[in-house]
Structures are given as C-alpha cells and as structure tokens.
A and B are shown apart, each in its own frame.
Chain A
Amino acid sequence: MLGFLRAYFSDDLAIDLGTANTLIYVRGKGIVLDEPSVVAIRQEGGPNAKRTIQAVGKEAKQMLGKAPGNITVIRPMKDGVIADFTVTEQMLKQFIKKVHVSRLLSPSPRIIICVPCGSTQVERRAIRESAIGAGASQVYLIEEPMAAAIGADLPVAEATGSMVVDVGGGTTEVGVISLGGMVYAGSVRVGGDKFDEAIINYIRRNYGMLIGESTAEMIKKEIGSAFPGSEVREIEVKGRNLAEGIPRSFTISSNEVLEALTEPLNQIVSAVKSALEQTPPELGADIASKGMVITGGGALLRDLDRLLMEETGLPVIVAEDPLTCVVRGSGKALEKMDKLGSIFTNE
C-alpha cells in the first residue's frame, strides 16, 4: 500500500551475484557496479590479531595469485552458489555500501537477487540470508535464465517458446520460457571457471608449464574459440616450467585452446540438447524458427554460437551485451516488481 512512498525514498537494488562478477542495478539509475566477486582478507598478528577485509572487487582481483602469506584472496562464490557464507555477506555489504547512499530517512533497500535454477533450497536460503545480512529489508529471488531472457528482450510473457542459454562463470543455465514462466530449466556446473581450469590443465599436461588463473583467463579471452575457424591465432604466455622450476615463455595457438576447451564445451552442448529433448514440441517449433539466445560472459567466447548452431542445427543468436543481460533483466523486473509476482521464485 505504501509502495509509492518506499519507491520514492529507497533505492531498491537488483544484484547478479555471479561466480566471476557481481553486478548491481539501482532502480532509476541503471547498472552502477560491475566488479569481480573477489575478496582479499588480511590476517593481522600481534596482540589484537583479527581478520580484516583488505580489498573487494577489482582491487582484490589484482591480488589474486600475488598475495603474501597474511593476505588470503578468496572467491567466495563457487559454481554459482555460496562457498563461503561470511565472506560473501561481507562482500555484498561492501558492494551495497558503494552504491546505496545511506540517508536518515531512506529505508533498507529491497533486493532482487539472481540464483542458478539448479541451486538447492539450502543454497538459495544461504543467498537470501547473506543479502539480508548485508542490509536488505526484503529479498526476492529470480532464476537466472528468466532474468537473462528479460535482459535479452525476449518476449517472455507471450505464448511462444523462448530458449536462453546463459553461460556464466560457474554455471551454464538453459531455460525455456513461455507465458512468463519457466517451462524447462536446466543447469550444469560448467562455465568460464571450468574453461580456465581446462586451459591450465592442458598447458601443464602438454607443455609441462604451470600458469595461474589470471593468465588462463587472458588466454581464453584473447585466442579462445569454440569452433575451428579459418584463422589460427597465437599468443605468447609465461609460466613456471615444472621440470626446471623456473619461469619460461612459450607460444600457444587458438586450435590448442580449442582442444583444451573441448570437454567443458561438450558438457554445455549436452545440456542444450537435453533441454531441447525435454521441451514440449509446440515450444520446440518456436525455438527452431526463432533460434536460441546465448547470454552471459561465456557467450563472448569466439564462435560458441557457431558450435551450438552446428551441433543442434538451430539458429543461435548472441544477445547484445551478454555480460550484463542477467542484471539488466533483474533491473527490468525491479522496475515493475510490484506487478510481476509470477516471475520470482519461491525459496
């Protein structure tokens, strides 16, 4: 009843609490924060030994793999869900503090937060409670494929099937949406992190070199591809030689990266095929005509759309600005939160 008053005084937030990045959308302002989901914690010594937060976000990510013994750099989200509850809560609190101006009269914000559709009730409850602990007055959960579809401007409310594949940092979510609800939702715990891990393992196995997560991510972004193309690119990489124990440099090609990524990519293809198998035929016909939409940071992997196209024989479209689709969708839901009860998930 007093929603208009609350809307006037409070900055409600939509949060994409991702494994790799956390994005925050503020009502009426748009996306105001895009930071890596990384926290650096300093363990102090001496008589007043305590743990303090050294940095969060971009600053903390720069410390990843370079921190001394008394600083632990943590990625508190793993596979799309909370791996370290306390640190996640603190990270959220810091991010909210950055974007939500605390005024005398402003009430605590209401928060829409995205959850993977494959997450368990316990994992959802942990996300809800960490948001409440970070200062939310109320928390609403929205499943990531639904948010991604809204963010990609798909006609989610119409009686037509829309398929969205959200390749995130920790999970890949596949959803088929019609009439404002999820007809099918599937999730595999494969995403950008698994790609990095696959590249690290490939280089260790084939080159006998050890590289860090940041380097693996850089290789993936620079020359990673999901489908063999006519152009072969190369990049020079530095790492520690396992046999000699000293840093060396070597060159790796895009075809080798493709070989490294084969296994996690196959899991994504399987998830998409499984979704298509279980989609009702009427909606499947709509998808065959319109195509499926890829969102999430994984959609930026070169030729991922081509891979899915060739594997499924269906048109595949990469959404505009795929990295922010989920938070934009959550933001759109936030703007009309009071009228869109059906798109939120219950626990």
Chain B
Amino acid sequence: MSDAPLPDPADARLPGRRLAAARAARGLTITEIALRLKFAPRQIEALEADRYDALAGPAFVRGMIRAYSKLVGEDADALIAALRASPLTAAGPTVTGPRAIGVAIPRRPRRGSMVYVVLSALVVIAVAGVVGEWLLRPVAPPKSAATRLALPTQPLGVAPVPAPAAAPAAPAAPRAAADVAPAAAPGPVETVVNARRIELDFDRESWVEIRDAEGRVVFSQLNRPGTRREVEGVAPFSIVIGNAHGVKLRYNDSDVDLMPYTRTDVARLTLK
C-alpha cells in the first residue's frame, strides 16, 4: 500500500476527506471523535487523511468508516463504495495458514517399541538361519550304505568262537571288529559289500532267529521238517537255532558244525 500514489489533497471524493468535512460541519474536533469511537486521535487523523497504511487493515478501515459515518450522519454505504473505488484500497488478507518452513517433524518411535523391533528382527534372523541351514545341508547317503562302506573286507570263513558259552560271543564280535579296524584303517576304504549267505536244511521242526551286523532280525520263524531256507545279509550274524540236532547249516557254501555251539538242543553262534 505504501507504493500507491499519494492522494490528491483536493480529492474530496475520498472517504476520509468527506468524513473530515462532515465533522467540521458539525463543529466536532478530532479529539471528540476519537473519544467517542475509542480510537487514538492519530488513527482518526490517518483516516481523514486517507492514509490507510497507517491503520490496521482493510477490514478495520471499513469498520472505522462505518462507525465514523454513523457518528457524523454520513451515508456509510456510499463511503465504503468510494473506498473500494479508490486506488488506495488494498486487497484483504488471504486465508492462509501461518507461514511455516513446512518440515514435518518425524514421529520418533518410543524406546519400548524399538526394543520390540530389535528383538523381533533377531528372532527372524535366527529362524531364517535355521531354515537356511536345513534347506542347504548336503543330502546324506542312506545309513545302511554308509555302514556298508565303513565295513572292512573280511576274510571268508567262520571265526572260531569259544565253544562253551554263547554269552561271551557277543562281546567277542566288537572286539574282533576292533582288531580288524586298525588294520583296515591305513589302507583305502574298501567299497566291497560284506554280504553273506546262510543256507539252512531242516530235518526236524526247528525255530531259528538270525540277526545281522546291526542287530536287526533278518530271519525269525518256525521251520517245518524237510524245508530249506536261504538268508542273505551283512555279516557278522548272530544266530540262535532251536532243536539244533535236526538242522544243517551252510555258510558261504561251507558246512558249519553246530555241535560245539549246542547246549540243551539250542545252538547259539556268531558267523563272521
């Protein structure tokens, strides 16, 4: 507004000039008007001089003109129209929010929730590690094959087992294996499968149970007289034969005499 051209002092159309003239006609002073309207005399002087930039703003200038015109008996609407037509009128304030830099303050997460975030991340990482490990682990060969690979080559034949008791025979087997192992260890691991065949001929009714090297029962049943059975598996075998007098045993095409292992008609022996 300060850039606007100065008003012509003789321009009687301006609202301030008209109000001043009306006041003078009524014989009132600026001080009396200021007292009635509760404005400061300098504000009344500014209004009469049409120096609107010295006043609070367009809305207030219009309000002052209305109040002043009512006091001196002027037509307020005509004065407001003259004000709007004058080049000194500035546009009213535009509706804006207060001026701001416009940087949004980030919402800081609370410490408590941060702890939960960290803990959750750790749990997720741990679970991901376990799952990855499980998915990426090398596929292990079947256990039986591994066993077979680990077994050293055994000479064919029946290992002599102390005759009197079958009970000591069981501990004897691991010992024998232990004896063999150091011998085999220096050399390359042999991949020959240690499979053996047992043939049984029954003259009398007999019950037979055969366990293989891993202790699994590979054969267990009651056999009728005159029958023949063949069993294959991984040596050494642990064998129990009932009614042993009526049974002939062949191991890898060699006859095995059951008499030394028989006690009260039950033979217990280990075949290597």
One of B38, B43, B59, B97 near A309 (C-beta < 8 A): B38
Q: Are A153 and B92 CB-contacts (below 8 A) given A180-B97, A341-B97, A342-B98?
A: yes
**Is A179's beta carbon under 8 Å from chain B?**
yes
Contact in complex: B66, A153 (CB < 8 Å): no
| CB closest chain-B residue, reference A180 | B98
Interface flags, A286-316, vs B, CB<8A=1, else 0? 0001110100000000000100010011111
Q: Are A158 and B66 CB-contacts (below 8 A) given A290-B60, A291-B60, A315-B39?
A: no
How many B residues touch the partner, as a band? 20 to 34
**Is A185's beta carbon under 8 Å from chain B?**
no
Which residues of A sit under 8 angstroms from B40, Cβ to Cβ?
Answer: 289
Contact in complex: B95, A290 (CB < 8 Å): no
Contact in complex: B59, A318 (CB < 8 Å): no
Interface residues in A140-194 by Cβ distance below 8 A to B read: 150, 152-159, 179-181
Q: How far is the CA of A86 from the CA of B100 in the complex (A)?
A: 42
One of A180, A309, A320 near B37 (C-beta < 8 A): A309
**Is A50's beta carbon under 8 Å from chain B?**
no
Q: Are A291 and B95 CB-contacts (below 8 A) given A153-B58, A317-B60, A317-B66?
A: no
Contact in complex: A157, B97 (CB < 8 Å): yes
Contact in complex: B67, A305 (CB < 8 Å): yes
How many A residues touch the partner, as a band? 35 or more
Q: Are A315 and B98 CB-contacts (below 8 A) given A155-B57, A291-B60, A320-B62?
A: no
Interface residues in B112-170 by Cβ distance below 8 A to A read: none
| CB closest chain-A residue, reference B96 | A157
Contact in complex: A289, B56 (CB < 8 Å): yes
One of B38, B58, B62, B96 near A316 (C-beta < 8 A): B38
A-B contact number at CB 8 A: 83
**Is A340's beta carbon under 8 Å from chain B?**
yes
Contact in complex: B97, A332 (CB < 8 Å): no
Q: How far is the CA of A342 from the CA of B95 in the complex (A)?
A: 12
Which residues of A sit under 8 angstroms from B37, Cβ to Cβ?
Answer: 309, 315
Contact in complex: A157, B63 (CB < 8 Å): no
Interface flags, A324-346, vs B, CB<8A=1, else 0? 00000000110110011111000
Contact in complex: B38, A155 (CB < 8 Å): no
**Is A319's beta carbon under 8 Å from chain B?**
yes
B36 to chain A, nearest CB (A): 8
Contact in complex: B63, A333 (CB < 8 Å): no
Interface flags, B43-69, vs A, CB<8A=1, else 0? 100000000000011111011101100
Contact in complex: A154, B64 (CB < 8 Å): no
Which residues of B sit under 8 angstroms from A179, Cβ to Cβ?
Answer: 98
Which residues of B sit under 8 angstroms from A313, Cβ to Cβ?
Answer: 38
Q: How far is the CA of A313 from the CA of B95 in the complex (A)?
A: 30
B103 to chain A, nearest CB (A): 15
Given contacts A150-B95, A156-B93, 13 further A-B contacts (CB under 8 A): A152-B59, A153-B57, A156-B95, A157-B93, A157-B97, A180-B96, A289-B40, A290-B60, A291-B56, A315-B64, A320-B62, A333-B95, A340-B96
Can you list 16 A-B pairs, Cβ within 8 angstroms, ordered by A? A153-B59, A153-B93, A155-B57, A155-B93, A157-B97, A158-B93, A158-B98, A159-B98, A181-B98, A290-B56, A291-B60, A312-B38, A314-B38, A316-B67, A317-B64, A343-B97
Interface on B for A, CB 8 Å cutoff?
37-40, 43, 56-60, 62-64, 66-67, 80, 92-93, 95-99
Those 8 A-B pairs whose CB atoms lie nearest each other, nearest first = A317-B63, A290-B56, A153-B59, A153-B92, A180-B98, A179-B98, A155-B93, A332-B95
